[in-house]
Structures are given as structure tokens and as C-alpha cells.
Amino acid sequence: MADQAVGETALLEAALAQFALTGVRRTSTDDIARRAGVNRATLYRRLGSKEQIVAAALLHESSKVLARIEAAIGDVPAPGDPAAAGFDRIGYVVRFFATTLAELRGSALLRQLLEVDREDTLAGLTVRAGDVLELSSHLVADRVRALRLLSAEEPPADDQRDDVPLLAVTLARLAQSLVLTVDGPPRLDTDQQVRDYAELVIAPMILR
């Protein structure tokens, strides 16, 4: 009965805490079950294999990060909303981009995971990060569509292709690269560099 009282969120949080302590590779399902206060059979029944647990835990953490980003940047007002008058679309894109990089680069959990088990953490955030990229691209696509709707921009009559999904996942992949490969260009070491890059490069991609 005690095992059944432990929710999936608690199991995923226990997995993340154990990964941060011993690294993904050196963590066993027994370690996670022990930390969560359940038996291994319960853990397997609820979350699956270790590989599935790793994927679910990273997706869970990504969902929390995205929720914080959404709360920080706010919504784009709809056309006709009083808040739409004078809404700074470029400023919104800059805030969205800067907030995203700050949240990801400032993640204590990510820093700890990279320190204790860099290879497996990088694999989880790159070659096995399909679900995370899909989740994050949904948020980007939602905001891109809202920004374009606000300015009443429509695709040309002879080209009705929807470029938003491709743009959204491209921007999600760009953010992934900028977070995981900080040593190469473009140099985004200061808040001003981040904001300038967002205004000069990201905003034109989104706002056309």
C-alpha cells in the first residue's frame, strides 16, 4: 500500500536526485527505488526500464523549466485585446530568448548532472532528446503563431505552407546547442550579448 501512495512525480524527482548524485550511468533502478521508498517491481511497473526512467525524468524536468519560462514571459495578447495596443513584439522575443537561456544555463541540476556524468547527460539531452525537443517546440510554435496573428501577418497567397513547426523546432535545437556548447561562437557571455543576438537574429526569424 505504501508503494501505491508514491506518485509518479515523486518517482521522477527521486530519479533526478539520484542521477545528480551518482550520475546516470552509475545509477541503478534499485538506487532510484530506494530513494523513492518503493520496491524495484513497483518502480518498473510505474515507469518501466532504466532507459525509460531516464527519458521520463528529463522530460519531467524540462516541463518544469518550460513552465517557469512561460510564467516569466507571459502571454501574447490577442488582436483586439487592449493590451495589444503598442505591444512590443521584438521586446517579447528578446525576453523569451533571454529567459530561456538564463533558465537552462542557470540550472543547478543540469550543472550537477554534467559534472558527475557528462557523457550520459549529454546523450540524454541530444541523441535521446526527441521528446524534450518536441515539448519545447510546442511552446515556441504557440508564441510564434500568437505574435504573427497579432500583426495580422499571413502567408502569401501562392504559398500556404505552414513554416511555424519547422521554425519552432529549429529554434528549440538552436537553444539546445547554445546551452550545451557554450565555448564556440556566437559568444553570448553577457546579458547584453544575449539580447543583441535575439534582436538581430532571432526576432527577424520569428517576425519576418
Q: 121 versus 199: which is more confidently predicted?
A: 199
Q: What is the pLDDT of residues 151-194, one digit of tens each?
A: 765 544 444 468 899 999 999 999 999 998 888 899 999 999 99
Binning pLDDT at 50, 70 and 90, where does residue 133 land? very high
How confident is the model at residue 152, as a pLDDT? 66
Output the pLDDT for position 122. Answer: 84
User: Residue type at 128?
Assistant: R
Buried b or exposed e, range 71-80, using 16+ CB within 10 angstroms: eebeebeeee
Number of residues that make up the chain: 208
pTM, rounded to two decimals: 0.86
Give the mean pLDDT of 107-125.
87
The grid coordinates of residue 149 equal 496573428
Residue 10 has pLDDT above 70, yes or no: yes
- Which of left, alpha, beta for 98 (phi over 0: left; psi -120 to 50: alpha)? alpha
pLDDT of residue 120: 85
pLDDT the model gives residue 138: 95
Run of H or E residues at 36: helix 29-36
Centre a 10 Å sphere on the Cβ of residue 96 and count the other Cβ atoms it contains.
Answer: 26
Instruction: Using the predicted structure, report yes or no on whether residue 1 has a pLDDT greater than 50.
Output: no
Mean pLDDT (whole number) for 42-52: 95
pLDDT at 62: 93
Q: Are 5 and 98 in contact (CB under 8 A)?
A: no
Whether 5 has a pLDDT exceeding 90, the answer reads: no
Name the grid cell of 169: 523546432
Minimal CA–CA distance to 155: which of 86, 94, 76, 208? Answer: 208
- Output the nine-digit C-alpha cell for 128: 535521446
- Distance of alpha carbon 187 from alpha carbon 200, whole angstroms: 14
Q: Establish whether the linkage from the previous residue to 186 is cis, with ω within 30° of 0.
A: yes
pLDDT of residue 161: 60
pLDDT (tens digit per residue) in 78-114: 999 999 999 999 999 999 999 999 999 999 988 888 8
